[in-house]
Amino acid sequence: MPVIRLNPGREKSVHRRHPWLFSGALESESDANLPGQTVRVETSSGKFLGYAAWSPKSQIRLRFWSFDEQDKIDDNFIHSRLQKALSYRSSSNLASNAKRLVHAEADGLPGLIVDQYDQVLVLQILSVGMEYWREILIQQLIDLTGLECVFERSDTEVRRLEGLERKCGAILGELPPKFVIQEHGLEYYIDVENGQKTGFYLDQRANRAKIQEISNNKEVLNCFCYTGGFSLNALRGGAKFVTSIDSSRQALKMAKLNTKTNGLPEENTEWIEADVFMSLRKFRDQGRNFDLIILDPPKFAPTKQNVEKASRAYKDINLLAMKLLNAGGLLATFSCSSAISPELFKKILASSTADARQDFSILDNFSADQDHPQLLSFPECEYLKGLLLQKCS
């Protein structure tokens, strides 16, 4: 097995069991020659640290499989990790027939995402280390789940950074012509082939249910509504009226279909195809107000280099929303940028309240649902964070 040694003093993050090492930590890579192969990682003095997948083109040069010297990274190892991940989900009551089965590093399978939508598996292979095991892990997933339709959505920017081509298409079977999933008593048409992420935002499942609980008799504004997840739950929860904004015409078309499919009052909805920032400024100028505003924007900070710019965007959009709330109104605000820590997100929101010259209390915290586990040693897992704020009267 190839051996990679670290520069002196660069093993601290490994001792904390963080699963990534960046290129600057490596003393030499001369032993490694095959992208994705497993390497033995040692300190500068030759002490064992772990086994990792080597990625020669990525800044994340090593993604750790294991910190146990007795482990053997082979077919059985992959099978064991997959089996453990699936077993954990089988014991979870998610009130849905759609769930995340494998959550990458959090399940000890770095760079692998697997979502199940009823009888369909959708996978994303995001690292060269996981690509190395591609055929084996696909066959093991089929064997373990017994599902006969597998679709690949390995079409994210991360693959380019790993030196991999984007891949999207059927691996086994065919997607059903009309694809519907159930969640908390609602049905959603989803687009696995072209939709966001793998087709739906499964991580927001519990948070959508929370919105249903707090929407009764409220004027609701849902920003970045996509296919209407929060909007439908607000309507099911008894919202007086729901205004939803998204820049995607196709997403809004599906959101309207989802509203009709569930027999929800279409006359109590308004769907706006527009830029959210511009729409909020327009509402401000019109003097329009709401009782509940939901802000679930796309990833403003894809990397740490984008944090400053993203922080300004989060501050601006939350400031605009805060000014549109009635007294006692609620703001459910989210960030899905892993580069924005929960602490920084709170600071940004505090800055927004200061500029708005208004006081807000924290009623609740939001995070990804339980099928998206988090590792204490890997803060990047905590990418989705949110707060439910109330405007003080």
Catalogue the active-site residues.
Answer: 336
Of 55, 75, 60, 62, the C-alpha closest to 128 is 55
Backbone angles phi, psi at 266, to 5 degrees: -65, -30
Query: φ and ψ at 165, to 5 degrees?
Result: -80, 150
How far is it, in rounded angstroms, from Cα 7 to Cα 240?
61
In whole angstroms, give the CA distance from residue 180 to residue 189.
4
Nearest CA among 88, 82, 80, 84 for reference residue 371? 88
Give one DSSP letter per residue of 200-217, joined into a string: S-GGGHHHHHHHHHT-TT
- d(Cα 122, Cα 286) in Å, to the nearest integer? 44
Strands 360-367 and 219-223: unpaired
Q: How does DSSP assign 62-77, residue by residue?
A: EEEEES-TT---SHHH
Number of H helices, E strands in the chain: 11, 20
* Beta-strand relationship, 26-28 and 60-66: unpaired
> Other CB atoms closer than 10 Å to residue 65's CB: what's the count?
22
Torsion of the alpha carbons at 207, 210, 212 and 215, rounded to the nearest 10: -120
Tokens 């511009």 — which residue? 278
Rg (the chain; Cα; Å):
22
